[in-house]
Amino acid sequence: MTGAASALFVLDIKGRCLISRDYRGDVSASEVENLFAKILDKEGDSDSPGPVCHENGVSYIFIQRKNVYLVIASRQNCNAASLIFFLHRVVEVFRHYFEELEEESLRDNFVVVYELLDEIMDFGYPQYTEAKILGEFIKADAYRMEHVLQRPPMAVTNAVSWRGEGIFYRTNEV
């Protein structure tokens, strides 16, 4: 069989490996980090590589979401378009579980991420990429990032409240 992915890597914005799942054992994380150091140096140049590049017999297919790169590496001849589509599906699965795909949410949920990576790809071949189906296999609760808007303190705004913080009455009668 040809066309299988060797490994899936999740890198931070600086190209360091956050999470990796090796399916075949023929591509190391250090190879990916070295390649991404070169790619990040060329970023913005006219000769910067696209989402698919080939170096030292390894094909790298990657996408970026916020501050995270998702990378598939393969030593075999693989269908790049289907693997790019697969990476987009992985992003959707992660967003379903964690609300936002960010470095912090992946670090907070690394156990769930590894469970998902085990289910969505088997020996380098994509399997399940539907979040509802994966929800039947993976019952672990994921920590969802919450964006809480913090109000500035009253001393900063010079606003004086007519009622102390946290005091509520059913009606506002005197």
Would the pLDDT of 15 be above 70?
Answer: yes
Per-residue pLDDT at 44? 63
**11 pLDDT band (50/70/90 cuts)?**
confident
When pLDDT is averaged across residues 95-120 and rounded to a whole number, the result is 82
Per-domain residue ranges for the chain? 7-157
When pLDDT is averaged across residues 74-81 and rounded to a whole number, the result is 83
- In this structure, CATH architecture of domain 7-157: 2-Layer Sandwich (3.30)
Rounded Cα–Cα distance for residues 130 and 40 (Å): 32
Over the chain, what is the mean pLDDT? 76
Rounded Cα–Cα distance for residues 9 and 69 (Å): 8
Strongest mean pLDDT among 26-30, 43-47, 144-148, 165-169:
26-30
Rounded Cα–Cα distance for residues 102 and 67 (Å): 6
